[in-house]
Amino acid sequence: MPNHFLPDYGLYLQSRGVRPATRRVFFELPVEHLTRPDLRTVCVTLSTRRAARTTRLSFDLHRPHG
Contact 29, 46 (CB under 8 A): yes
Q: Quick one: pLDDT at residue 43?
A: 92
Q: Quick one: pLDDT at residue 53?
A: 84
Q: Per the domain annotation, does 19 fall within a domain?
A: no
Q: Per the domain annotation, does 20 fall within a domain?
A: no
Q: Per the domain annotation, does 47 fall within a domain?
A: yes
Contact 15, 55 (CB under 8 A): no
- Domain coverage including residue 54: 1-14+31-66
Per-residue pLDDT reduced to its tens digit, 18-44: 998 999 888 877 888 899 999 899 999
Q: Per the domain annotation, does 40 fall within a domain?
A: yes
Q: Per the domain annotation, does 38 fall within a domain?
A: yes
Q: Per the domain annotation, does 1 fall within a domain?
A: yes
Q: Per the domain annotation, does 55 fall within a domain?
A: yes
The answer, yes or no, to whether residue 50 has pLDDT greater than 90, is no
The answer, yes or no, to whether residue 64 has pLDDT greater than 80, is no
Q: Per the domain annotation, does 36 fall within a domain?
A: yes
State how many domains the chain has: 1
